[in-house]
Amino acid sequence: MKQKMIIFMLLMFLVGSLLGQYAGEGVFVRITTLEELDGAGYYILAYQDNVAGPFFNQTTGGTPVNYLTREILEPNSESQHVDPALDVVWYLEKLPNGNHTIFTEVTQRYVRHDNSNNNAVYPTEDGEGELSQWIITTAANETFNFQNAGTTNARFLRYNSSSPRFATYGSGQQFITLYKLQGGDPPQFPIISNVTQITTPPDANQALSISATVTYAGSDLNNVLLRYSLDGIEQDIVMTASANVYTATIPAAQLINGTRIEMNIVALYGATQSVQSPEQRFFVGTTPILKIKENLADGMPRFLNYLVQIHGVALNSEGMISTAATDFFLQDATAGFGVYSTTAGFTDAILGNEYTVVGSINQFRGRGQINPQTITHTGIGVMPQPYINTIEYFSNYETAERYEGSLIGIKNVNLSEGASWPSSGSTVSVSLTDGTQSIDLRVLPALHGAGPTFPADLIVMLSQYSGTNPPHHAGYQLFVRTLEDFHPLGVLPVTLTSFTVSAMPTGSVRLAWTTESEVEMSGYHLLRGESNIIDRAITITPSLIAAHNLPTYQNYEFIDLEIKLDTEYFYWLQAIENDGSASVYGPISITVRNEDIDPEIIDFTSISNVYPNPLRPNDLARFDISVKDSEIATLRIFNIRGQMVKEFTDITGEQTITWDGRDSQNRETASGVYFYQLSSPSFFGVQRLVILK
């Protein structure tokens, strides 16, 4: 291998400086699979996704421009390596035994682990020993383990936050991202530079123009493509050339608020060869917070480091969580998320005000948060209603993660056995219980003293403080803002005990929910969408389902008939209080498949979709209805304003009801949207009907 290296270095010397060839030219592309590590090549090793922007643009020689010094991994040896800039780019080679070596050609040294010092990785001239070989594995979040092959006490390369270097870590955490130099040896390929950088989320419904410079001495450049994906659906646009500047435009119709985009430039040359610029990852316009909360299996954000803009109401003022940083929760109609920065100069958040935040998606010990670029105050908002449930619910990853960063309520809370309210001192955690489980409540020094009266109903913010490393499946905690977050028992309006969805044998969907101790509730609406973005959902209840307002458990259900098989649907429950404020629960999702349908089962009430639909002059609308034994059903038809225009009563057994489009006074109804509702003691279902005249 060393002989190969010497020959290659002589060739490189003839055409320019070593650095200029493999660091100053070409395109470094992120790799995500082990197959791409076969053979040998030049790589940049970086900490997760924290290397971004212009660093990977090409220069004509010299040190790569604008790289983020603290986030490039260099060898841990101040005495043996030369100019650190020369050690940014590494040579990795796969050996016959399947292991890899990490080699710096400038100093002719390998990265070697020292068993005598668990935190030392240093260059050595010995490239033959096992200590210079690394077993590389990849993880679902596109990062890599570098496990030393020569020790049973497995160590892993990682980023050391105290200085830019390699260090080792004694557990299997995935910390390193690899970028590989595209091209030959030496590289002879198109150079992509001056790519339009997306530094703020592009506006929705406005075309996005992208340009890049492509320099190539060869004659076999076929096409330059703008390659991008919209919420995971990939497409290409052939870019238009003017000299060596290429441009393309993403149409305005594709740029919808909340659309996720991964984008880069691809130059196709030769028979099958291509190079591509680094990928940029961002969301369009203002994104519903729920969309950015998606996690990987280990609890890490699925869209880590994506650029995003969110808008919502601040759940707390500055100083209520931390007195040393910008630290608040922002909640919109879909969910809540943290905003955190130690950078000075941001607008101080005030509880109840609305803000627009632009920044990158990140996390700290499991808590999802935006690292902001800008925070803009946009007015006075309306505080969201808390989602009310038990401590057990808010401590379980499968249920709590949806509401992390949001305002929540817990009823009948008391101090856990042995716990006490702090009288003085620094910020502490106080253990609370509601009889189902305990959870920590963070109490700042300003709230120390006499404390609240227990037991109490509690409205707080749900956060998370998990371990340093994933998986982040535990560590949920509460942030109290003021002592006014503690309320007398019975103040919280409704506790939602369950909200479930299930497929019916007729191919419809049954939604059921149970509440306890309703107070001053008006009723409920249900919403349905084909994505988990509530802004794109429609209300499927034509009129409010009235609340019972009783201090005992109450069961509700609704049958959704207007669905298509093999389509995933998302449902939300909207609980509306007498003062008009509302809480939203969900989403829950379901896909009804053909095998779920059993037409022979008729021991429940149901109604099929009306046909024909739309209803035209001289048509008869047909409603096929099955009514459960011992029940009597009623079919009602409402106009868009909720006024009943026709009613069919005393329906039993299996019947086909026909309707000629006339109201109860035998008058023709006007064109428009109508709703038909079937109700019985065990059933309530509503569907749409369109009349065209």
A 10 A CB-CB count for 421 gives: 16
What value does the mean pLDDT take over residues 367-371?
95
Q: What is the CA 497 to chain-centroid distance, rounded?
A: 26
What was the pLDDT predicted at 80? 32
Most confident range (mean pLDDT) of 171-185, 209-223, 591-605 is 209-223
Q: Pick the residue with more confidence: 152 or 174?
A: 152
Say yes or no to pLDDT of 474 above 70: yes
Q: Considering all CA atoms of the chain, what is the largest pairwise distance in Å, rounded to the nearest integer?
A: 99
What value does the mean pLDDT take over residues 133-151?
73
Q: Pick the residue with more confidence: 31 or 251?
A: 251
Tell me the three state secondary structure of residue 54: helix
Tell me the three state secondary structure of residue 408: strand
Task: Output the CA–CA distances (angstroms, integers) from residue 316 to 312, 411, 693, in the order listed.
Answer: 12, 21, 54
Out of 13-27, 210-224, 328-342, 388-402, least confident range: 13-27
What was the pLDDT predicted at 585? 80
- Structure confidence at residue 142 as a pLDDT band (50, 70, 90): low
Q: How many CA atoms lie within 13 A of 432 on its CB side?
A: 32
* Distance of alpha carbon 176 from alpha carbon 45, whole angstroms: 6
- Structure confidence at residue 86 as a pLDDT band (50, 70, 90): very low
Out of 31-35, 526-530, 539-543, least confident range: 31-35
Query: CB–CB of 99/110 below 8 Å?
Result: no
What value does the mean pLDDT take over residues 174-193?
64
Q: What is the pLDDT of residues 541-591, one digit of tens each?
A: 878 888 877 655 677 888 898 888 888 899 989 988 887 777 788 788 888
What value does the mean pLDDT take over residues 227-243?
93
What was the pLDDT predicted at 180? 75
All structural domains of the chain: 2-181 (2.80.10.50), 191-283 (2.60.40.10), 404-466+475-482 (no CATH), 495-596 (2.60.40.10), 606-691 (2.60.40.1930)
Q: What is the pLDDT of residues 99-139, one digit of tens each?
A: 888 876 555 567 766 655 545 565 666 666 777 788 888 76
* Distance of alpha carbon 445 from alpha carbon 421, whole angstroms: 11
For 107: left if phi > 0, alpha if psi spans -120 to 50, otherwise beta; the answer is alpha
Pairing of strands 208-215, 191-193: antiparallel
Q: What is the pLDDT of residues 594-623, one digit of tens each?
A: 766 655 544 567 777 677 877 888 888 888
Query: CB–CB of 184/148 below 8 Å?
Result: no
Q: Which of 63, 34, 55, 60 is nearest to 280 (CA)?
A: 55
pTM of the model: 0.57
Q: What is the pLDDT of residues 495-505, one digit of tens each?
A: 666 677 888 87
A 10 A CB-CB count for 236 gives: 13
- Structure confidence at residue 159 as a pLDDT band (50, 70, 90): very low
Where do we find the tokens 């409205």? 459
A 10 A CB-CB count for 89 gives: 24
If you average pLDDT over every residue of the chain, what do you get?
78
> Which pair of structure tokens corresponds to residue 458?
């509690």
* Distance of alpha carbon 363 from alpha carbon 356, whole angstroms: 19
Q: Which residues pair with 461 in a beta bridge?
A: 407, 479
Q: Which of 417, 408, 441 is nearest to 427 (CA)?
A: 441
Query: CB–CB of 289/335 below 8 Å?
Result: yes
Q: In sequence order, what DSSP letters do the residues of 151-176 get, joined into one string?
A: -SS--EEEE-TTSSSEEEESS----E
What was the pLDDT predicted at 85? 39
User: Is cis: bond before 452, omega within 30 of 0?
Assistant: no
Say yes or no to pLDDT of 518 above 50: yes
What was the pLDDT predicted at 115? 56
